[in-house]
Amino acid sequence: MPPAHRLSPRDLFVVAIGGVVGASARWALLEATAGSDGGSAGPVLLANLVGCGLLGLLVGVARGKSVGRTTRLLVGAGFCGGLTTFSTFAVEVAAALRDADPSGAVGYTVLSVAGGLTVFLLGRSIGRRSGPDSIRDASC
Amino acid sequence: MLTGLGFVAAAGIGAALRLVAVERWPGDHLGTMSVNVVGSFVLGLLAGADPTTLTIIGMGGLGTFTTFSTFAADAIGLAGTRVGNRRGRSLGHVVNTLVLGVGAAALGLTLGS
């Protein structure tokens, strides 16, 4: 990654648009599963896994081909960042620990982290295969 | 309707603030980690708030301000850097983010209740 660009108002607008669309998808997922047991843990886990996979795909494709800064901001930092969330995950885990449910806390953490990393790698390898180039460089 | 508009505004602001924090911070995985820790603390504080506040500020603003996908990308990215103990840096980032994030959320839950 080259030294940080100076953020322009356009960058902020682009990331905000992607963020709103991603967050709305997360909200829709929560609404669609409202009433089913388990509260927000299941849909948030699903949103996080899908977002990790999509970001992996973008990083993989970006490796081989030129993916513009606008696309990276819109889809990566914007949509994937908005679809996924860390704060709800952290509060769910903290609440499980507070409610003396350590196995629930550990299970949810392992599913989220191991699942997120695995899906990210899966997405990245699929994305790389779709690109003509396979130069090794793990930064995005 | 108003809740929806509030959600959209909060999500847009959350995403833009995250970008500002991440791009200004030297070593961008620390920027994402800070965002996630701060957002987890504030969401913990708000846990007992009314449903509208939780939807707009919690799910919209803080939910979008914090991110899981960039956390995963940073963890994988650190494992691929050629500096120092790669696996150690990656694992350290995961553990630090989890401990600080869940700890901050627990602190917020305690202070907010």
Six-digit token pair at A134?
Answer: 């396979």
Q: Tell me the nearest-neighbour CA distance from B50 into chain A, angstroms.
A: 16
A118-133: string of b/e by CB count within 10 Å (b at 16+)? Answer: ebbbebbeebbeebee
Of A120, A5, A136, give the one whose Cα is nearest residue A64.
A136
Q: Do A52 and B72 touch (CB under 8 A)?
A: yes
A24-60: string of b/e by CB count within 10 Å (b at 16+)? Answer: bbbbebbeebeeeeeebbebbbbbbbbbbbbbbbbbb
A58 Cβ under 8 Å from any chain B Cβ: no
Q: Which tens digit of pLDDT belongs to each residue from B60-113?
A: 999 999 999 999 999 999 887 666 667 788 999 999 999 999 999 999 999 998
Residue A100 CB neighbours (<10 A)? 8
A27 Cβ under 8 Å from any chain B Cβ: yes
CA–CA separation, B103 and A9 (whole Å)? 34
Q: Enter the ipTM.
A: 0.94
Q: Do B76 and A19 touch (CB under 8 A)?
A: no
| Cβ-contact A32, A43 below 8 angstroms | yes
B109: nearest CB among A5, A19, A94: A94
pLDDT at A140 over 60: no
A123 Cβ under 8 Å from any chain B Cβ: no
Q: Please give the model's pTM, rounded to 2 decimal places.
A: 0.90
